Amino acid sequence: MSDHRYYIVTDEAGAARALDLLSTVFEEEGVPIATMETDEAKGLWEASVYAGGEPDAELRDRVARCLAGDFPGAAIEMEVFGETDWITRSLEGLKPVRAGRFMVHGAHDRDAVRINDLAIELEAGQAFGTGHHGTTAGCLEMIDKVMRAVPGGRTIGPVLDLGTGSGVLAIAAAKLRPVKVLATDIDPVATRVARENVRSNHVAARVSCVTATGFHSTAFSREGPFGLIIANILARPLMRMAPDIKRNLSPGGSVILSGILASQRRQVLAAYNGQGMRHIETLWRNGWVTIHLK
């Protein structure tokens, strides 16, 4: 769990740009990067880099250098958490989210679930991916559209959820259709959390959670090929993984990609077009896109 963070305060577009810049420097190191809205009325957002241990002046300087060109004079703030769970803090008080037929909520909002909702219950502090971010909401809506479009007599499974985080997308797929789902993440903590969420949402018989870096785990060959691959990560790793994603996809299968800024859409499409895949649809959410390919 991270003990402190370095962040800037900006607007929504600025946060998206900062996330793109920070990812070019820190994503290969596995350093957590995130954006979140802090004041809806004023349109304020924060873009953060999280770190463990004691405050690190060198890391702060790297963040400052990374952002200096696009954010001249921006103050690099620091927040120390101590024993505070920053994920819990960031999720406290968030309202239920509806996307497609899905409703993502905390235990305190169970009464808001309607009869026809496919409810996914996640508690604050249990991992990344709550449905509030445009990428997660876009994926949930696209999963609903893609899986419901398959005639009832046919199966779209098995399903692969790359970079599962909280497990919300894997849970969504398993709740929508009786399919087997492989949920993977490079972070063993995320894998553990996803497994807990899968169990609490009563889909453990369908969803397997595995810690895996890239496509090097034997789980992919054991569980695949996949009729649907969902990857809500970042644009650059998605482009690098295009050959592996294609290789693990069943003939005629679908791919749902997100974690992509609108400005990166054409680059990502080019990488997958190069693998012989065609664009079906793009959903646009708050400067982010979710892409469906076949």
Residues of the chain with CATH 3.40.50.150: 127-293
User: Could you tell me which of 147, 138, 124, 86 has the C-alpha nearest to residue 259?
Assistant: 138
pLDDT given for residue 129 in this prediction: 44
Residue numbers in the chain where pLDDT is lower than 70: 1-3, 27-28, 30, 81-96, 108, 123-134, 152-155
Instruction: Give the pLDDT of residue 262.
Output: 84
Of residues 188, 183, 213, the one with CA closest to residue 198: 183
Give the per-residue pLDDT at 90: 45
Distant-in-sequence, close-in-space partners of 171: CB < 8 Å, separation ≥ 6: 120, 197, 198, 201, 203, 207
**For residue 28, what pLDDT is reported?**
67
For 273, counting Cβ atoms within 10 Å of its Cβ (0-12 exposed, 13-18 middle, 19+ buried), the class is middle
pLDDT of the residue at 12: 85
> Which pLDDT does position 130 carry in this prediction?
43
What CATH class does 127-293 carry? Answer: alpha beta
> How much is the pLDDT for 281?
95
Domain span(s) for CATH 3.30.70.120 in the chain: 4-84
Q: What is the fold, at CATH topology level, of the domain defined by 4-84? A: Alpha-Beta Plaits (3.30.70)
Q: For 261-287, write each residue's pLDDT tens digit.
A: 888 899 999 999 999 999 999 998 877
